[in-house]
Amino acid sequence: MKTIYNCHCHLFTDKNLPNNYLGFGLVKMVRNKSVAKSAQFLLRNLNPLSGYDVGNRFDAFLKAVYRESQEENLKALIGYYPEGTKFIVLPMDMAYMQRKSLPFTKPKKGKIEEDIDEQHNKLAVLAKSYPNTVIPFAHIDPRREDSLERLSSLVEKSGFKGVKIYPPLGYSPTHPRLLEEIYPYMQKKNIPLIAHCSPGSVYTQETDKKSAHQYAHPNNYIEVMDKFPKLRICLAHFGGIGEWKRFFSESRDSRNPAWVKVIIDLMRANEYPNLYADISYTIFDQQENVPLLKVLLQDEKIRDKVLFGSDFYMVENHKYSERRLSIDLRSELGEKLFWQIANANPKAFLNIDTLDIKTLLNKNANVVFEDEK
C-alpha cells in the first residue's frame, strides 16, 4: 500500500509563541483555559473575526492550546489519516518576532516560554519515538549567529531531514548567512528547504507589512537557485489563497502577476528543475482552487513538482476538516494525480529512494557520492 506524505505540518504549542503573537496579550491570556473556552465560544458563535487571518490563526491556536505537548498535537493529526502516513513537521522560531503593544511605542519582543532549542529537542525526541511517522525539519533564522552550528547538530546528531525558513519574520531568503553558510551546507548534505511563500503570514511590526510580504516573494529564490542549483526548494502554500484568487481576475500580461503565476513560470523554465511548491492551507479552499490545481497538474513540468500538505494545525479552525481534505482532494484529482503529489513527488523532494540506496552502499563499502564531496 502506498504511503501518504503530508509535507507541511506544525506541532508547536503555545509555549513556543510570543505572548504578543496575536496582539493585546491574547496568547498569555488564553493560557488560562477558562478564558480560552470563552474566546472559542465567541469565535465559533458570534464570529467577530470571521474572514480575517488573525481570527483564523487565533481560533486554530485556541484549539491547539488545550494540547500541552507536540506529541498530543501529533496524535490528533495522525488520527485524521490512514495508518502509515508520514508527516514533515515544521517548527517555528519566533524569538525575533516583535509587536507594538501601543501606538507610537517601540516594538517589544514577546516573551517565549520555550525557545527554539527546546522546541527542536522535543521534536527530536518525538521523531525518535515515531520514526516511521515524523520527518523533522529545523527552523533556521539567519539572524542567529550560530545558525550553522545549530543546523549541523540537528542534522548530524538528531537526524533532521531539512530546513524551514520564514522570511516575513524580518529577513530575506538571500540573507548573507543563508547564502554563505546555510545553503552551502544544505546542498552538500543534500537536504531540502521549505520556505514560506504567501503574503498572508505571521510577520513582525518592526518591519512594515509591505516589506514583510516582499521578503516572501517567490522571485527572491531566483538568486538562490542560480547559486545553488542542486538545492531542492519548496515554496510553501504555492503563493497563498489570496494570490490564487488574484490569478483568476488578472490579465495575462499583468505587470504585477499573482505569485502562483510567478511560481508556475519558474517551474516551466528549464533552469530550475529543483523547484517545488506545496498546496498547504491554499487547498482548503477546494471549490475555488482544486479546478486550477487539476489543470496545472496536466503539465508534466508542474505535475512532478507539487507536494501535498495541509498546514495542520493552522487550519483546524476551518469548516473543511483535515480528514475530509485528503479524501475530497483524492476524489477530485483521481488516483494517479493524487498519488503523484502525495507520494512520488514528496519522495523525490526528500530524496528518500536515493538516500536509502546510499545508506545501504555506505554500510558495505567505502563509497563517496559526488554531491557529498
pLDDT digits (tens, 9 = 90+) for 57-108: 556 656 665 577 999 999 999 999 999 999 999 999 988 775 544 444 444 5
Residue 239 lies in a domain: yes
Residue 53 lies in a domain: no
Give the ranges where the chain is alpha helix by DSSP (H). Answer: 26-30, 33-41, 53-65, 70-78, 116-129, 147-158, 176-177, 183-189, 209-215, 221-227, 241-249, 259-268, 286-296, 300-303, 322-333, 335-339, 345-350, 352-364
Residue 25 lies in a domain: no
Q: Which of the pair, 45 or 365, is modelled with greater confidence? A: 45
Of 333, 350, 246, the C-alpha closest to 296 is: 333
Residue 34 lies in a domain: no
* Domains of the chain: total: 1
Q: What's the confidence (pLDDT) of residue 256? A: 93
Residue 117 lies in a domain: yes
Specify the CATH number for the domain of residue 276.
Answer: 3.20.20.140
* Whole-prediction pTM: 0.85
Residues of the chain above pLDDT 70, percent: 75
Query: For residue 313, is the peptide bond before it cis, meaning its omega torsion is within 30 degrees of 0?
Result: yes
Residue range(s) defining the domain that contains residue 84: 5-9+71-372
Q: Which of the pair, 354 or 283, is modelled with greater confidence? A: 283
Q: What's the confidence (pLDDT) of residue 28? A: 58
Of 110, 167, 115, 120, the C-alpha closest to 141 is: 167
Strands 193-196 and 233-236: parallel
> Can you give the length of the chain in residues?
373
Residue 48 lies in a domain: no
Residue 114 lies in a domain: yes
Q: What's the confidence (pLDDT) of residue 243? A: 95
Residue 38 lies in a domain: no
Terminal C-alpha separation, the chain: 36
Residue range 171-208, pLDDT digits in tens: 999 999 999 999 999 999 999 999 999 986 676 667 77
Q: Which of the pair, 299 or 313, is modelled with greater confidence? A: 299
